Each structure stands twice: as C-alpha cells, then as structure tokens.
A and B are shown apart, each in its own frame.
Chain A
Amino acid sequence: MTRAGVLLFARTLGAALAASATLAHAQTSSDALAWLRKIYQATQRLSYTGTFVYQRGDETEASRIVHVAGTGTGIEKLEALDGARREIVRTRDTVQSYLPDARTLKVDRRTVGPRDRGRGFPAMLPERLSGLARNYTVSFGDTARIAGYECREVVLRPNDRYRYGYRLWADRRSGMLLKARTFNAKGETLEQFTFTQLRIGPVPRGEVRVRPVPPGWRVEDSSVQPVDLAAEGWRVDADLPGFEKVAEVKRKLRATHLVDQVVYSDGMAAVSVFIEPMPAAAAEVHPGLSRTGATNIYTREVADHLVTVVGEAPAVSVQRIGDSVEYHPPH
C-alpha cells in the first residue's frame, strides 16, 4: 500500500469509528434508518393521488396532490384547495407555479451541477440519510391508522437545539408517507401535513399535464446559475454543528432583481441565505425575526445589502447563520 493509500485508509477507518461511536451514543436504530430510506424510495417510486391537510397553529389548508412515477420523467402536481389559487407542477428539474390571481407563472429551474448530474430533482441523496444519524436520534414510534392505512411512526429527535424534531408516519406496506409533523424543543407541534385521502396506484398522465402558459400571463424565470460568493467578497460562515453547504447559486427573484442564495442542510432541515442589494423601498425592510409554521425568517442589513435567512430550523440557528454574514470588498 502506498503512503497516501495508508493515510486514506486510516482516515476512512477513523471516520467510520467516529460515525459508529456517534451512532452508538445516539442509539439510533439502523432499522429505523432503513425505514427512512424506504419512505424516501416510496415517494419516488409510487404513483398516487390524494388530498392532504397542512396545519399550522389553528390554521388548516387542504391541497390535492398527484404524483406520476417514472424514471427521470416523474411529474407531480400540487393544487391548493383553500385560500389563494395556486398550482405547482414539478418535474425532474423544474418547478412551475401557476398563480391565476396574479396571472403569473413562476419557473424555477434547478441547476444541474457536475456533482448532481444524473440525480433526480429532489436534492436528497440517499446516502445523506445515514448522515442524519449524527444530528438526530432516529427511532420507531407507535403504529397508527391514517387515511385508512396502517402506519408505522419514525421519530427524529434532534441531538441539539439547532434543529427541530420530526415525526413521520408511513404506510407499513409501501412506505408511503401519510403524515409528517415538525415539533420544537418543548414538544409543541409547529406544523403538520396529513393525508386525509390517498390512493396509491397508476395515475393517467393527463392528470398532471403541463399546460401551456395562458395568453397575457407574466413568466418569471428564476434563471438559476452557480455562483462563487467568496469571490464577490461575501463570507457566510455557518458555524452550526451538522449543517453543511449544499448549494450556492444566483437567481432572479420576481424577474426583477438578482439574488445570491447559499443553502445549508443537516440532512433533514435546510436553511437558505439570500443576499441582494438593498431594495429602493428600504423603508419596507424590517430587520428582525419572523416565523410561519416551522419556518423562521431572519432579516438583516449588511454593507448596504439585504440579508434574508429562511429555514425550517429554530430561530437560534437561522439567526446564527444570518449574523455570520460578512462583506469584505474583493481586491
């Protein structure tokens, strides 16, 4: 074995030992992790139609969802049944939001970088699931019957205060996710998704056809491009255990202005940092924290730029990432 080979081997062994030590400490069951993997595969592999309810505080919103599975050609449609009309169609690498009231179509194209070429649209790589065990204790919960399906519950308890906990209920047979709940350190439910009706099985493709843009509609394309923020003088040092940078892009927001976006994730939760020049209507900017469901939003001004941190993580995490943003003019 060459010297480099020995070093590599030693490092890999060290990492494996460290990982197993963490696993043992966290008492994450490997069965529960395997079950998470099955849930992940089920969302990709199964075709289904159903209605689910989103709950946040005492508000509820019903939506209809259709998913047609297919290798690389899967397509999914979400239609809001309550409140503002909205339809979102997602394919492998685009998300199209139809907003009839605003006569606007928002198109979000996902960059296909060299690292995720050939991967499905959802960025989650199955191998990341094992990384979850470092940040959460994953174990089985009770069984429950949801929308007519016998479900098995899996619980992700955060290992520290920088993330929320999750309870996921999935069909015992297929692994299809029927219910998902996000809870905080006090055990309070922050938001919840529950299927009230679900049919698993083939779906006619016509149900999710991408329709042409109606005449007179505005099309807002996000035109996502990779970007190097450090070269532009920005430093975002997410000093948060378990969170790693998963994306760094420049995109258009509302077709009018360019925004930089850096995304951090711990395998379950993600936090985005948006950086843009201070808008002309600066009076409308309110620095501080706001929250909707399990999503915290932290707004701050740095070097005449607006920094907006959005993430389904506790306020402390979102604020910490936001406060780390610095600008040093490039030489």
Chain B
Amino acid sequence: MRAKISALMDGELEGSELAASLAAIGARDGEAYEAWCLYHIVGDALCGTRPLSEAFNARFAQRLAAEPTVLAPAAARAQPERRRWIALSAAASIAAAALVGWLSLAPQGGVGTAPVQIAQAPVRAAPPMAVAAAAKAPARVPLPREADDYLLAHQSYSLRSSLQGMMPYVRTVAVENVAGRP
C-alpha cells in the first residue's frame, strides 16, 4: 500500500487504483493514511517547509465550513487520458488553498511541532443565507415556445422601434429559427 501512496503523490496512479488509494486515505486509519501523512512530512522536511500551527486544521475546517456551497453543474466524466492532468490540477488547487490558508492564518498562531494532518473537510450544509441566495438565482431555461409571439406583442411598444424603425422586428424571425419552428 505504501508504494501505491508514493505513486499517488507522484501523480502516477490512474483509474481504479487511484480511486482505491484515495478511499483508503479517506478512511483515515491504517497504513495508507499513515503513509500519506508521513510522506508529506518527509516531503515538507526535504523542501524546508515549516510545519503549520497546531490549530491550523481546526481553523481551516471551520472557515471551509463557513464558505457558501457553490452549486455547479456536475462535471462531465473525465476521459482516461485526461485523468492525470485533472489530478494535477486538483493538487494545484489544494496547494493554492493551503497557501492562502497559510498566508491568512500563520501569523496568528505559534509554530507547533505536531505532524501535519489532512484537514477534515466536513460535509455540511451551507449556511441558510447562502442557500437562500442560491435558490433565488433563476434557472437558465430554453426560450419559451411562444417566445416569438411574446416578442411580436412586445415589439409594438418597444420605444426603440421609433429610433430603429422596423429593424428590431427581425428578432422575432430570428427567434423562430432558433426554436426550429415553421
């Protein structure tokens, strides 16, 4: 398993091996998790990175939980040849998040000696306000079937048509084409 984790950290795992290793780490105990932590400490030591403060994880987790949930459409299934790239970019994002966390939190706490642990990302509902805001954003929907009828009815009152003559009327034609109707 240690070899797998080592390969994972080098970005060399793909497919089911990648999934299995991540699941093993995610289980948070046993060989895989220990190896993951150990290798990171070794890596940090080699690179001369200072350990984070003891309270870093707790504060990071707290701030992360307070972040509004971003409701994004499900990502398209990644192609096998792109997996590695995605893994790398994910690593880059984590690195960026860690850097930001470091910059904003480091000055506040003392430098401890506790081993670096993976931040416990709690799966929690976003605060009510964020949910409300997200619910208020309307869905993007296709044009209504009667769009051209509405447009035509609207056009008669559009004051722009006084300046542009009949030009804006052509929009109703264009809509009809989009909708693929006769």
**Using a CB–CB distance below 8 Å, which chain A residues touch chain B?**
36, 39-40, 43, 52, 54, 56, 59, 61, 63, 65, 67, 76-78, 80, 83-84, 86, 88, 90, 95, 97, 99, 101-102, 106, 108, 110, 122-124, 128, 168, 177, 180, 191, 193, 222, 246-247, 251, 253-254, 259, 261, 263, 265, 267-270, 272, 274, 284-290, 292-293, 295, 297-299, 308, 310-312, 319
Is B30 an interface residue, CB under 8 A from the partner? no
B residues sitting closer than 8 Å to A (CB atoms) are 138-147, 149-178, 181-182
Q: Which residues of B contact A80 (CB under 8 A)?
A: 170, 173
Structural contact, B163 and A43, CB atoms closer than 8 A: yes
Provide the bound-state CA to CA distance between A270 and B174, in Å: 19
CA gap between A102 and B151 in the complex, in Å: 18
Question: Is the beta-carbon distance between A63 and B163 smaller than 8 angstroms?
Answer: no
B-side contacts of A84, CB under 8 Å: 173, 176-177, 181-182
CB pair B141 A65 closer than 8 Å: no
| Residues B157 and A265 in contact, CB atoms below 8 Å apart | yes
Q: Let me know if A65 and B167 touch, CB within 8 A.
A: yes
Contacts of A270 in B (CB 8 A): 154, 157-160
Given A54-B170, A88-B166, A177-B163, the answer on whether A290 and B140 have CB atoms closer than 8 Å is: yes
Q: Count chain A CB atoms within 10 A of each CB in B144, B145, B164, B173 and give the residue with the most.
A: B173
CB atoms of A254 and B147 under 8 A apart: no
Q: How far is the CA of A326 from the CA of B177 in the complex (A)?
A: 34
Contact of B138 among A52, A168, A319 (CB under 8 A): A319
A247 to B155, CA, bound (A): 12
Q: How far is the CA of A178 from the CA of B86 in the complex (A)?
A: 50
6 nearest CB pairs, A to B: A124-B162, A122-B162, A288-B139, A288-B141, A286-B141, A272-B154
A39 to B161 CA separation, bound complex (whole angstroms): 12
Which of B144, B149, B168, B176 is in CB contact (< 8 Å) with A86?
B176
Known: A246-B157, A270-B157. 17 other contacts (CB 8 A): A78-B167, A83-B174, A83-B176, A99-B182, A102-B182, A108-B152, A123-B156, A180-B167, A261-B154, A274-B153, A286-B144, A288-B139, A290-B143, A290-B144, A295-B151, A297-B150, A308-B146
Residues of A within 8 A of B158 (CB): 265, 269-270, 312
Q: How far is A299 from B166 in the complex, measured between Cα atoms in Å?
A: 26
Q: Give Cα distance in the complex from A56 to B112, angstroms.
A: 60
Residues of chain A contacted by B176 (CB below 8 angstroms): 83-84, 86
When chains A and B are docked, how far (Å) is the Cα of A90 from the Cα of B167? 12
Contacts of B154 in A (CB 8 A): 261, 263, 270, 272, 310-311
Contacts of B160 in A (CB 8 A): 268-270, 312
A43 to B145, CA, bound (A): 32
On chain B, the residues within 8 Å of A259 by CB distance are: 153
**In the bound complex, CA of A77 to CA of B167 (Å):** 10
Kindly list chain A residues whose C-beta atoms are within 8 Å of the C-beta of B156: 95, 108, 110, 123
Q: A269-B160, A286-B142 are in contact. Are A90 and B173 (CB under 8 A)?
A: no
Residue among A52, A110, A261, A290 with max Cβ neighbours from chain B (10 Å): A290
13 chain-A/chain-B pairs, Cβ below 8 angstroms: A54-B170, A61-B170, A61-B174, A63-B167, A83-B174, A86-B173, A88-B172, A101-B182, A122-B162, A124-B161, A168-B163, A268-B160, A287-B141
